[in-house]
Structure 1
Amino acid sequence: MPRIRVSKPLVELMREFKPETISLMSKYKSTNSDGNYLHWNEFKWRVEKGDDEVAAWTATKLSRQGISKSLVTLQADRDRYFSYCVPNSLTAKLHLIDRLTGGGSKISDGLLMSTQDKSRYLVKSLMIEEAITSAQLEGSSTTREIAKEMIQKGLKPKDKSQQMIFNNYLLMTKAIEKKNEELSIDFILELHEIATHQAIENNAVAGELRQEDNIVITNLYNENPFYPPAADTLPSRLTHLCDFANTDHSDREPNNFIHPIVKAIILHFMIGYIHPFGDGNGRTARALFYWSIIKSGYWLFEYVSISKLIQEKRNDYDKSFIYTETDDFDITYFIYNQVETICRAVKLLNEYVDRKQKDFYDFMDWVDKSPISKKLKREQLEILKEAMRSPGREFTAKQMSADFGITSNTARKYLNELVELNLLVQSTKKTGKAVVYLAPANLKSKLNKS
């Protein structure tokens, strides 16, 4: 990331007010003609020839101030507070997300038979994806295949990288479990403890606020250093953050309305800014984002994974933090960045659902035609569906018991029945007596024959 150029604060621009600013206010609005919310670092290069760049920037800042909403309980520095605004281009993106996630009909109709099924199959696979990529953002090097096997089979993490991924999976589970509860400092500490269990650095302690002020955050070039707030201010700042999270900003309070997606993004940002922990702030922040958005009724976000997309454009993510910190604490930069990420994540979810639907309908075609399928339990059909998609995959009674909420004995009975029907292959692990059940490479032809 190259050096970021920073403008003077608005209060200083107004002291040095240039008369031509007034005539430029009709041309330079909160966003440019393409709807982009530009920081001075990008804005200064896009001023029309002949226009004074500082006067044009002042006109833009004044336009933003006219629609800005101050977050008076969220302190930035000394007597300064964070703010944000919602220009038309941001409203349009929020509307797109609302439209794409409204009702969740694509997931509930035809793809999965009940809420219970939905939780067992789709949620688990996408929570694994989020757990892996969230850990990779923090430096985990475990491959996706190993990570998925560890979670799916309930294996014990073998190293710190695997521990980070396993922790993140538990973290997502906890965020969803607590969706009906209010935010408290104890809950934030609980999330952090889960996120960093046996996977923490910088001499930090899992589940405890940092006590030191020796943290400096910079980019790859050691530029734009950020010094998090003093440790002795953390209890007060987190108390105010909890109050903000627990305040009703819904449409029931129109004069106090904050769009639920915007509110969840603000919580995400504030944990990053306050930096209450010596390590694990990012993981905790992303968990709070999910907790907040799901609490607001956006149930579809149980299936939306954002960390992979943050990872793909990590420079833009980091830059949006710096833009906020270097431009009058305007969180709008970070909000735009995350809304873009969410839009892409929701679109990817729809593509994922389309693939799941095709698999489902292909499998149901076999179910309709096969006499054997009529004798099978729903759990057995789900195992076969996974086996057909992943030849060579291993299944265990322990895994099946956890996935379907049945006893290990029942799970073992169901798997053995599939072996008797020649639809799975039973084997024994070389390392011990554990029995595994393998998906044969020719399962599809076996199903067709049956």
Structure 2
Amino acid sequence: MIKRPPSSDQLPKSAWAWISEYQPERRLEYLDFYTVVDSKGRYLPFDEFRHRIPKGLAVDIAWALTKEARSRTRQWILGLGEPARFCYYNDIPAIQKTKTLVDQATTTAALAWANRKIGEEQNFSYMLEDLIEDEAISSSQLEGAATTTLVAREMIKRRREPRTMDERMILGNFRMMRYVWDKRSLPLTTELIRELHAIGVAGIDDEKYRPGIFRSADNVVVEDSDGNIVHQPPIWTGLEDRLNRLCHWVNTDHDEIESQNYIHPLIKAISIHFAIGYEHPFNDGNGRVARALFYWFLFKKDYGAFRYISISNLLKEAATQYGKSYLYTETDEMDLTYFVDYQCSVIMRAIAAFKGHCQRTIEDIERFNKWLFNAGIYAKLTEKQKIVFQVAKGNSNSIFTARYVEERLGCSYNTAASVLNGLVDLELFEKRKDGKEWVYRLRSKNDIQNSWTAS
């Protein structure tokens, strides 16, 4: 459990007056805490702040000074709960840096540049397909799905029916992520929120999740791993009205940069993520809907590269810290900076991973084309076969079916089957029958080299 900060009414009305009366000789030391972030640029929550106070200084007084400094630069965002609690945040350097990176690297225009660098947009989107799947899989695993990533990818690529509840969860998330992309031009409504939930959880355990139905009781709580209640959502009465107010705020234009009401799209997307988690409108599955709406808003604002950037992949690795970022905000007078700051740290790493993947993809294509040319294979492959072969080389565990290639390359089923069988004839792929379906996979590097050397 985290250490909750003292409330405003527990702190002296004037920290400086207290210092002047009780510790005037240490005034300069206290002055170091009259700042929004510490000397390392960290926006520390009280739980960590209290351990960094020099011996002899009063922790609550140092905290009161920090709170006063933060109050002078905060920006109010939105109200949540009943009675309404208003969230605010401070635009600290770490958040500013993330906003700049998002603007530089994740817009649809930036993605188009990468497409041109590779040469064909279709190649690029197919090669990044695993990244689209990552968020759906990781978001489910964050919520407890036990299915491995490899098995989950196999299910999605083969379009096979899920065999377990965990696989149903992953497939529901995959469909939900596709849905938010398709619906990115729509305004947010409570009906859209319901539809997202229904798509994401239907058929998993309908009695538990109640797909698409807002909760109608106050029997839902969030517990930590030890069973302690860490979040009691606001009362269910008035929930739909509060969600309608949230939708109105989301649909309000905050894009005018010269306006006092300006909110960067990334901050707004993260705020939506937090709001759904805080209001907890459904019996279960709220986290998945919250993260899906985060993506939906960024898609709406033309940050197309987020289709390939998974935040859940990193949130899953530090689920405890993810939970704490909610708690730090809720227990410190709805200071959303903690949640925004943590999400920004995750997004920074996720974008770095995405950029690294793109760079490796570009380099792999260049090496691949050179090898194809030198080995005399290039002239034997069709353009579609080159795409599929390159994708397979990038992930040797990938499986392919004619139905999947048909969908990804936008061709007919017969053309897709011809592409795959042609790769088998060239001794680059192998195939096996699985039920009624042929499944194709890249042969091992040694087998390919031996076959072409022998020929």
TM-score for the superposition, normalised by structure 1: 0.91
Q: 1:176 is matched by which residue type in structure 2?
A: W
Matched, 1:108 2:115: yes
Distance in 2, matches of 1:392 and 1:69, equals 48
CA distance 1:391–1:183, change in 2 (3 Å): closer
Q: 2:245 is matched by which residue type in structure 1?
A: H
Aligned partner of 2:440 in structure 1 is 437
Distance in 2, matches of 1:277 and 1:160, equals 19
Q: Deviations over 1:148-191 (max 9, x none)?
A: 11111111111111111111111111111112221111111111
Q: 2:127 is matched by which residue type in structure 1?
A: Y
Post-superposition offset of 1:96: 3.9
Out of 358-367 and 200-209, give the one that drifted further. Answer: 200-209
Q: Pairwise CA RMSD of aligned residues?
A: 2.4
Out of 418-427 and 335-344, give the one that drifted further. Answer: 418-427
Q: How many residues align?
A: 443
Aligned partner of 1:180 in structure 2 is 185
CA distance 1:99–1:25, change in 2 (3 Å): farther
Aligned partner of 1:152 in structure 2 is 157
Distance in 2, matches of 1:21 and 1:224, equals 37
Distance in 1, matches of 2:384 and 2:377, equals 14
Alpha carbons 1:201, 1:278 under 8 Å: kept: no
Post-superposition offset of 1:345: 0.6
Structure 2 SS opposite 1:131: helix
CA distance 1:393–1:58, change in 2 (3 Å): closer
Post-superposition offset of 1:391: 5.2
Alpha carbons 2:432, 2:440 under 8 Å: kept: yes
Post-superposition offset of 1:40: 1.4
Post-superposition offset of 1:415: 2.5
Q: 1:437 is matched by which residue type in structure 2?
A: Y
Q: Deviations over 1:55-74 (max 9, x none)?
A: 11111111111111223x42
Out of 209-218 and 199-208, give the one that drifted further. Answer: 199-208
Aligned partner of 1:68 in structure 2 is 74
Alpha carbons 2:94, 2:341 under 8 Å: kept: no
Structure 1 SS opposite 2:51: coil
Alpha carbons 1:137, 1:307 under 8 Å: kept: yes
Structure 2 SS opposite 1:156: coil
Alpha carbons 1:366, 1:447 under 8 Å: kept: no
Q: Which of 218, 234, 241 lines up with 1:236 in the alignment?
A: 241
Aligned partner of 1:360 in structure 2 is 365
Q: 2:11 is matched by which residue type in structure 1?
A: L
Aligned partner of 1:5 in structure 2 is 3
The gaps in structure 2 that reach 5 residues or longer are: 21-26
Q: 2:115 is matched by which residue type in structure 1?
A: S
Matched, 1:291 2:296: yes
Distance in 2, matches of 1:197 and 1:394, equals 27
Post-superposition offset of 1:427: 3.4
Distance in 1, matches of 2:227 and 2:396, equals 48
Structure 2 SS opposite 1:251: coil
Distance in 1, matches of 2:376 and 2:93, equals 57
Alpha carbons 1:28, 1:60 under 8 Å: kept: yes
Out of 249-258 and 301-310, give the one that drifted further. Answer: 249-258
Structure 1 SS opposite 2:231: coil
Q: 1:330 is matched by which residue type in structure 2?
A: D
Matches within 5 A, 1:331-410: 331-369=336-374, 371-389=376-394, 394-410=399-415
Distance in 1, matches of 2:60 and 2:16, equals 8
Alpha carbons 2:399, 2:440 under 8 Å: kept: yes
Distance in 1, matches of 2:254 and 2:190, equals 20
Alpha carbons 1:250, 1:258 under 8 Å: kept: yes
Structure 1 SS opposite 2:276: helix
Alpha carbons 1:189, 1:208 under 8 Å: kept: yes
Alpha carbons 2:15, 2:65 under 8 Å: kept: no
Aligned partner of 2:226 in structure 1 is 221
Give every structure 1 segment of 4 or more consecutive aligned residues whose post-TM-superposition deviation is greater than 6 Å. none
Distance in 1, matches of 2:19 and 2:199, equals 52
Aligned partner of 2:23 in structure 1 is none
Aligned partner of 2:263 in structure 1 is 258
Structure 1 SS opposite 2:52: coil
Q: 2:48 is matched by which residue type in structure 1?
A: E
Post-superposition offset of 1:105: 7.0
Aligned partner of 2:63 in structure 1 is 57
Structure 1 SS opposite 2:440: strand
Post-superposition offset of 1:418: 2.9
Distance in 1, matches of 2:47 and 2:397, equals 52
The gaps in structure 1 that reach 5 residues or longer are: none
CA distance 1:201–1:220, change in 2 (3 Å): farther
Aligned partner of 1:247 in structure 2 is 252
CA distance 1:448–1:180, change in 2 (3 Å): farther
Matches within 5 A, 1:6-45: 6-15=4-13, 19-20=17-18, 24-25=30-31, 27-45=33-51
* Identity between Structure 1 and Structure 2 (%): 33
Post-superposition offset of 1:198: 1.3
Q: Deviations over 1:177-233 (max 9, x none)?
A: 112221111111111111102124773311111111111223233446321011122
Q: 2:73 is matched by which residue type in structure 1?
A: I
Distance in 2, matches of 1:104 and 1:433, equals 38
Matched, 1:423 2:428: yes
Out of 215-224 and 158-167, give the one that drifted further. Answer: 215-224
Alpha carbons 2:269, 2:298 under 8 Å: kept: yes
Alpha carbons 2:80, 2:275 under 8 Å: kept: no
Distance in 1, matches of 2:53 and 2:259, equals 37
Alpha carbons 1:268, 1:285 under 8 Å: kept: yes
Distance in 1, matches of 2:57 and 2:441, equals 70
